[in-house]
Amino acid sequence: MLIAGNWKMNTDVPEGRALANDIATGLSERPDAFADIDVLVCPSFVHLPAVSDALADAPVAVGAQDMHAEDAGAHTGDVSAPMLTSIGCDAVILGHSERREYYNETDADVNRKVKQARTHDLVPIVCVGESLQQRQAGNAASVVTQQVEGALSGVSIADASELVVAYEPIWAIGTGESAAPEQAQEMHAVIRDNLAERYGADVAADIPLLYGGSMKPHNAHGLLSQPDIDGGLIGSASLAADSFLGIADEAVHVRQEEPA
Ligand code: 13P
């Protein structure tokens, strides 16, 4: 189970450092509970050194929210994979719907970034998800399948084994209206089946599929109990240690309830 926070463009650096410290403190108060749960935070680029530093002794990985597909060059304002690894980043969110919508990122862009992330040993967290209009037109499964196929075109089995996919229905992001657990499960099963066709059932079973979109402590249990939901990618509820770790606590409960 992976509980990941996407801080988006929130908090200044001292606030980010304080949030990271609060998360580290909260985890230190639950010493054994998190043996089976991976925790990741993805702050903005400028926070990464301070947040990595604050979490150096905590069981929390640090990731970025995007990166460029090339190593270096004339790309004003961009950040590269070698820059991220040089400050200890473990993962990078790619193809978030906000990047697709506001920066016109295409599946081909996401695909280049996925390959670049793997070249530099970063775990790509590939985001997919349909709009409300696409869902209402009955196209949710086909939209998401196309995004998965586009993002993973030419990605090897070895690299797929180091991949995370996040299903984030656009209509649930930042709206306070999460997908129902069964609705999310249905889409996760579509994604799992597609990954199984491409990489085989065993590899597909081990690729963590996260749900994102208004996940909160009160709805996390229902979502995380679904068979194909392996964690959460959390936006606004990741901006306070209490709610972020409240979701992580739910992940622990779900794990404890699973048959041995
Ligand atoms: P919210 O949890 O704020 O809906 O954001 C979800 C998201 O976009 C995570 O990447």
List the domains of the chain with CATH numbers: 2-257 (3.20.20.70)
Q: How does pLDDT run across 111-138, given as a tens digit for each residue?
A: 999 999 999 999 999 999 999 999 999 9
Q: 7 C-alpha to center of ligand 1: Å?
A: 9
**Rounded CA gap, 88 and 84, in Å?**
7
Residue whose CA lies nearest to ligand 1 atom number 9? 235
pLDDT level of residue 33 (50, 70, 90 thresholds): confident
**Rounded CA gap, 94 and 243, in Å?**
24
**Rounded CA gap, 123 and 118, in Å?**
7
Is the minimum distance from the CB of 212 to ligand 1 under 6 angstroms? yes
pLDDT level of residue 36 (50, 70, 90 thresholds): confident
| Nearest atom in ligand 1 to 216's CA | 2
**Rounded CA gap, 24 and 31, in Å?**
11
Q: Across the chain, where does the E strand assignment appear?
A: 2-6, 38-42, 60-64, 91-94, 123-128, 164-167, 209-211, 231-234
Q: How does pLDDT run across 166-221, given as a tens digit for each residue?
A: 999 999 999 999 999 999 999 999 999 999 999 999 999 999 999 999 999 999 99
pTM: 0.97
**Rounded CA gap, 221 and 226, in Å?**
9
Is the minimum distance from the CB of 6 to ligand 1 under 6 angstroms? yes
Angle at Cα 121 formed by Cα 250 and Cα 70, nearest 5°?
A: 115
**Rounded CA gap, 42 and 39, in Å?**
10
- Cα 89 to Cα 40, 43, 82, 121, 229: the distances in Å are 10, 11, 10, 10, 24
Residue type at 259 in one-letter notation = P
Residue 32: the pLDDT is 74
**How many percent of the chain have pLDDT more than 90?**
96
Active site residue 68: no
**How many percent of the chain have pLDDT more than 70?**
100
Q: 74 C-alpha to center of ligand 1: Å?
A: 31
Active site residue 258: no
pLDDT level of residue 35 (50, 70, 90 thresholds): confident
Q: Counting beta carbons within 10 angstroms of the beta carbon of residue 193, is it exposed (0 to 12), middle (13 to 18) or buried (19 or more)?
A: middle
**Rounded CA gap, 190 and 186, in Å?**
6
Q: Counting beta carbons within 10 angstroms of the beta carbon of residue 254, is it exposed (0 to 12), middle (13 to 18) or buried (19 or more)?
A: buried
